[in-house]
Structure 1
Amino acid sequence: DHPEYNVWDAYEIYQEMMVDTTIPVNTDRVRHSWKGDWNHFNNGATGAVYYTEDAHYVWIPNGTSRLEATFTATEFDSDTGQAGALQLSIDLGEDGSNDAQGAGVRQSDSWYYDLEIDDSAWGKWAEFDISGQAITLFGFIEDIEFFESRVPYTVDVMLTLDLSESVDIQFEQRPDFYTDLNPTTPSEMYDDSMDGMLTFTKPAYDQAGVISLIEPKDSEEDGEDGGLFASIAQLFSDNPITMMFILLLILLAAGGAGYSMRNEKEEILMAVLEDDELEDDAS
């Protein structure tokens, strides 16, 4: 334990621990998934309708040849009488277009999208957003003015990469969204010759270096006290006779001052007693 360390010391150590590390993986596919709630707020007084922001972003690495996305939403709820119809839009390169328009295939409660990716989308973000309509029949029972349609959903995105050349995935996280990519099971086209062709370069903790970064340190007060006593000790070591003589003079002076103060107090006390006796005799 090192109680002398504060939060800023810990943050400095944390920054020094983070180093860029390249990790090879034996796969040609990566994925990212997330959950959310699509909400529809209806203001009965004004008729205004409000929707939540559901945009999410996925990095498209160099060499990506295929994007598969599965969108699953709980559009029907018998308890609240809710019914809805939601769809997933995919904007490759964030150019404002919906590249998934008409590409979705309905599979039970899910929509499945399978898109071919070319190099125009490489090294860019793809924006995923949710749109649609929903109605809640029994919502007015709880709140006639602000009743809400709430549709939980999940999105699972899988990217397949062409490993005819080595591919390194490295990008900065968007501060407003969690956007990491993780390796997943290889595709049917993967073979052993592709092992190590895909790598991830990302910040990682250098746990082996933690011990070397944490060293005991003295506070400023301890440092000042240590410096004073160290200087006195050094003087005694260099000039023992002189320092002993000075110490003796200090002790004699202190003793003389104490003796003088004691005599002065005794004289004052005697004078007070004599005055009291004279007053008693006079009375």
Structure 2
Amino acid sequence: MENAAVSRAAIPDSSIAGFSRRKLWNQGARCLIWASAIFTCLLLAFIIGYIFYRGVPYLSWELLTSQSSYVKKTIGILPNLLNTLYIILVAMAVVLPLGTGAAIYLTEYASNKKLVNLIEFAAEALTGIPSIIFGLAGMVLFSEMFGLKQGILAGGLTLVMMILPVIVRTTQESLKTVPNAYREGALAMGASKWHMVRTVVLPNAIDGIVTGCILSVGRIVGESAALLFTAGFGLVLNDFITALESSSATLTVALYVYASERGETSVAFAIAVILMTLTLLLNFSANMAAKKLKNV
């Protein structure tokens, strides 16, 4: 007891005061972090709740299964739902083999490390470019130079430019997670380079690849700025072939049209509810797919 008292007495008052100040700063920082997190969650809950409060009462089967008509004085978003599906199919059909093939080459075959680093840097830089710039570039490239009309094809190819860097980088990171011992073992057993990639590397990286693809679909669903110049504002129901080169508005573009051009804020909020639900389902599907494929 005497030794403990002597030890406490030997500690300078300045050290005790410094320890108290550090403890006070730590507690203050912890409270600030918790307050920021709670405020963010409350703000997000308020935004989601307000959108659902304004949009859910206007959701109806007629809205989802009909098209807008000035003659019948009806409003429907079936064309926009189909256009969103069409543009997902066009964009993913092009970007998936292109992006996956590029990532496989950069990770497994490319020997010039400086070139690989340059391409990776360029891909990461492209992911930060505003989507409206991609829309302007797509309009100049596909509409003016190649002569494509506004429609699903021009819009889908514009989205390919936008999400290609995302697919390449996510696929690369997934391929890099496969241990080199797997590659060396397959090659030691006499497998060719492509056979090793196809049967060893890709199956072990499929979870990350699928997750990246699903998240890219979510970005396509929520994109509007790039499609204003390329896909158009058309609200008419078209089949897939006709929609390729005719003005076709997706859900996000339709939300803009109904909110700003027509003043139908109730319909805009209903579309916002659908978009938020689709985004939630896509993110949930990405997480589930990643967990399932990791266990395979």
Normalised by the shorter chain, which TM-score bucket?
under 0.3
TM-score by length of 2: 0.20
Larger radius of gyration: 1
TM-score by length of 1: 0.21
Q: Name the structure with the higher helix share.
A: 2
Q: Which has the higher contact order (CA 8 A, sep 6+)?
A: 1
